[in-house]
């Protein structure tokens, strides 16, 4: 799937929930590979603020990003809309310190971006693929997030509000669900007992009954409602049968749980790459979401480092076993450096070398500190590449391979007895006049041990 941006520039306006400041937000398409960048037009600093978890500085009632003098608060609703549309490259310019709250949901951001026409770029998306169970738990709040393997991006949120009205709720979002209909309209919310504290802290200057759902967690006195009415600048307030202090009804019976799910999408988008995996979030909040995003970011970095690492199943049947390898190569102990070939195509071959304490090289390299020599790792790659070249020529026992040069060779981690080396060789260009150019990489566990570019010539074996 290709990376996406928008075709047309668009602007929307509103006020910040926590600052009460009026702000205009302008969306503009960006070149493939740019990423999501925020800019502030109201200050002199023109630094690009990447939508990345490394730039998060606060998670109190919202997610705030900062780099240099450029700070943007309450980014989660906007980013959830951006992420849901698969937009990877976008310039977002604000003339204020906070993304406007709009109606308390993500629907206005979503609609604005759709109207701007989402288009493909010429670059492919890179996914964070969840291939193992990843967990995070906040011992203080009880928030817990789990990532599980899945072919699609899916989220389940489980919340317990300890409220006489709401109690426990959950929400699901899967591959076949509509973000526009099922998640985007869910509004932000706060509890009645928190409201006065939030006002005293100056955290909801732009909040009113039209852009934030206020929920009572218990019966509320008339005096309390009158006090809040005065602070909100509203007439007489009442708590309806659903426990909502609002002139409008809930959009969904589980709207708070859906909004929590919306927040999770926005916060996890700060990993910087779309996720293929199932997220289960129990009692999520911005702090926990961001801590989990940091963990996922580390997994992405490790995954990217090992991009292209072959999977190896030691129980799988090799395409060439040791005897078949010996039939193709002239090498013998102690210089046969391949135990088996796990896969072989016209352009890619995967071999295996099991390093044991009985290797002849360990008699002198080094006594008491056995290290498998890097040059022998290159030799193992060369032999693996030889099989690829010979197999590509179509006559397995009639050709020999002689290596002409090795370029850009790097040794990155130590190989010791007991290690299993995965040998990967791939053609860099088609074979011409018997000349073969290959990219070789060795892996031990989750690390690259060595790599290099090897050039060989394939000639007919003398009889």
Instruction: Respond yes or no: is residue 365 known to be catalytic.
Output: yes
Instruction: Respond yes or no: is residue 77 known to be catalytic.
Output: no
Q: Cα 457 from chain centroid?
A: 42
3-state secondary structure the chain: CEEEEECCCEEEEEEECCCCCEEEEEEEECCCCCCEEEEECCCCCCCCEECCHHHEEECCCCCEEEECCEEEECCHHHHHHHHHCCECCEEEEECCCECECCCCCCHHHHHHHHHCCEEEEEEECCCEECCCCEEEECCCCCCEEEEECCCCEEEEEEEECCCCCCCEEEEEECCCCCHHHHHCCCCCEEEHHHHHHHHHCCCCCCCCCCCCEEECCCCCCHHHHHHHHHHHCCCCCCCCCCCEECCCCCCCCCHHHHHHHHHHHHHHHHHCCCEEEEEEEECCCHHHHHHHHHHHHHHHHHHHHCCCCCCCCCCCCCCECHHHHHHHCCCCCCCCCCCEEEEECCCEEEEEEECCCCCHHHHCCCCCCCCCCHHHHHHHHHHHHHHHHHHHHCCCCCEEEEEEEEEEEEECCCCCCCCEEEEEEEECCCCECCEEEEEEEEEECCEEEEEEEEEEEEEECCC
Strand partners, 24: 13
Cα separation, 249 vs 391, in Å, equals 70
Of the residues 18, 259, 286, 299, only one is catalytic, namely: 286
Longest CA–CA span in the chain (Å) reads 104
Dig out the tokens for 292 from the structure.
């989990």
Question: What residues are annotated to the active site?
Answer: 286, 365
């Amino acid at each position: 799937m290709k990376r996406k941006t928008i075709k047309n520039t668009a602007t929307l306006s509103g006020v910040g929930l926590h600052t009460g400041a009026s702000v205009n937000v302008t969306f503009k398409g960006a070149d493939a590979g740019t990423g999501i960048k925020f800019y502030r037009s109201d200050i002199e600093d023109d630094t690009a603020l990447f939508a990345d978890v490394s730039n998060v500085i606060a998670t109190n009632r919202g997610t705030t990003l900062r780099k240099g003098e450029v700070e943007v608060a309450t980014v989660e609703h906007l980013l959830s809309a951006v992420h849901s549309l698969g937009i990877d490259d976008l310039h977002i310019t604000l003339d204020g310190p906070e993304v406007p709250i709009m109606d308390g949901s993500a629907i206005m951001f979503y609609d604005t971006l759709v109207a701007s026409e989402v288009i493909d770029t010429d670059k492919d998306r890179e996914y964070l693929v969840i291939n193992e169970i990843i967990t995070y738990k906040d011992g203080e709040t009880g928030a817990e997030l789990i990532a599980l393997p899945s072919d699609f991006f899916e989220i389940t949120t489980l919340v317990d509000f300890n409220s006489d009205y709401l109690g426990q709720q959950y929400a699901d979002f899967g591959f076949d669900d509509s973000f526009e209909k099922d998640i985007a309209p869910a509004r932000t919310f706060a509890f009645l007992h928190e409201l006065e504290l939030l006002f005293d802290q100056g955290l909801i200057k732009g909040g009113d009954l039209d852009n934030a759902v206020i929920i009572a967690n218990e019966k509320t006195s008339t005096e309390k409602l009158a006090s809040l009415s005065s602070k909100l600048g509203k007439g007489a307030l009442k708590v309806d049968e659903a426990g909502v202090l609002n002139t409008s009804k809930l959009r969904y019976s589980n709207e708070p749980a859906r909004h929590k799910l919306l927040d999770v999408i926005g916060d996890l988008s700060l990993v910087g790459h779309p996720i293929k995996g199932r997220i289960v979030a129990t009692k999520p909040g911005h702090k926990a979401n961001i801590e989990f995003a940091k963990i996922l970011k580390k997994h992405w970095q490790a995954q990217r480092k090992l991009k292209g690492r072959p999977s190896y199943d030691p129980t799988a049947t090799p395409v060439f076993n040791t005897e078949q390898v010996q039939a193709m190569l002239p090498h013998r102990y102690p210089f046969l450096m391949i135990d088996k070939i796990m896969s072989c195509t016209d352009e890619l071959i995967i071999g295996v070398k099991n390093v044991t304490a009985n290797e002849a090289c360990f008699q002198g390299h080094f006594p008491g500190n056995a290290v498998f020599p890097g040059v022998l790792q290159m030799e193992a790659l060369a032999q693996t590449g030889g099989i690829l070249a010979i197999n590509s020529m179509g006559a397995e026992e009639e050709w020999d391979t002689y290596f002409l040069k090795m370029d850009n060779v790097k040794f990155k981690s130590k190989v010791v007895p007991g290690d299993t080396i995965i040998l990967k060789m791939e053609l860099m260009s088609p074979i011409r006049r018997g000349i073969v150019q290959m990219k070789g990489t060795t892996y031990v566990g989750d690390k690259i041990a060595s790599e290099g570019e090897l050039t060989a010539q394939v000639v007919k074996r003398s009889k």
